[in-house]
Structure 1
Amino acid sequence: MKTLVSFSLAALVATGIASTATAQQPPVQQPNVSPTTVPVSTQIAMCTGCHNIPGYQASFPEVHKVPMIAGQSAKYIANSLMAYRKGERKHPTMRSVAVTMSDADINAVADYYSKLGQAEPAPAKPEHTPPANVAALLQKANCASCHGENFSKPIDPSYPKLAGQYADYLYVALKSYQIDNNPHIGRGNAIMQGMARPYTRAELRVLANYLASLPGELRLIEQSRFR
Structure 2
Amino acid sequence: MNKLFTTIFAVTVSCVTVASLAQEIKGDAKAGETKNAMCIGCHGIQGYQASFPEVYKVPKISGQGAKYITAALNEYKKGERKHPTMRAIADSLTDQDIADLAAHYSADGVVAAAEPAKAEPAKIKEPSAEVQALLNKANCASCHGANFSKPIDPAYPKLGGQHADYLFVALKAYKTDNNPKVGRSNAIMAGMARQYTNPELKMLANYLSSVDGDLKTVPQKKFR
Q: Number of matched residues? A: 194
Deviation string 1:167-193 (CA, Å, 9 cap, x unpaired) is 000000000000000000000011100
Q: Does 1:60 align with 2:52?
A: yes
Question: Helix, strand or coil: the match of 1:150?
Answer: helix
Gaps of 5+ in 2: 1-17
State, as a whole percentage, how many aligned pairs show the same letter: 59
1:122-161 map, 5 Å? 127-161=124-158
Amino acid at match of 1:98: A
Structure 1 pair 199–120 and aligned structure 2 pair: CA distance change class (3 A): farther
Residue 90 of structure 1 and its aligned partner are, at CA, apart by: 0.5
The structure 1 residue matched to 2:69, chosen from 71, 77, 89, is 77
Distance of 1:35 and 1:209 partners within structure 2: 35
Deviation string 1:152-205 (CA, Å, 9 cap, x unpaired) is 000011000000000000000000000000000000011100110110000000
Q: Which residue of 2 aligns with 1:178?
A: 175
Residue 137 of structure 1 and its aligned partner are, at CA, apart by: 0.3
Compute the TM-score of the two structures, normalised by the length of structure 2.
Answer: 0.81
Residue 226 of structure 1 and its aligned partner are, at CA, apart by: 3.1
1:1-227 map, 5 Å? 39-118=31-110, 119=113, 127-224=124-221, 226-227=223-224
Kept in 2: contact 1:152–1:162 (CA 8 A): yes
Amino acid at match of 1:92: P
Amino acid at match of 2:202: R
Structure 1 pair 45–151 and aligned structure 2 pair: CA distance change class (3 A): same
Distance of 1:45 and 1:190 partners within structure 2: 33
Kept in 1: contact 2:160–2:213 (CA 8 A): yes
Structure 1 pair 84–152 and aligned structure 2 pair: CA distance change class (3 A): same
Higher fraction of helix: 2
Q: Give the number of the structure whose alpha-carbon radius of gyration is greater.
A: 1
Compute the TM-score of the two structures, normalised by the length of structure 1.
Answer: 0.80
Runs of 4+ in 1 over 6 A off after TM superposition: 33-36
Kept in 2: contact 1:152–1:217 (CA 8 A): yes
Residue 42 of structure 1 and its aligned partner are, at CA, apart by: 3.7
Gaps of 5+ in 1: 1-29
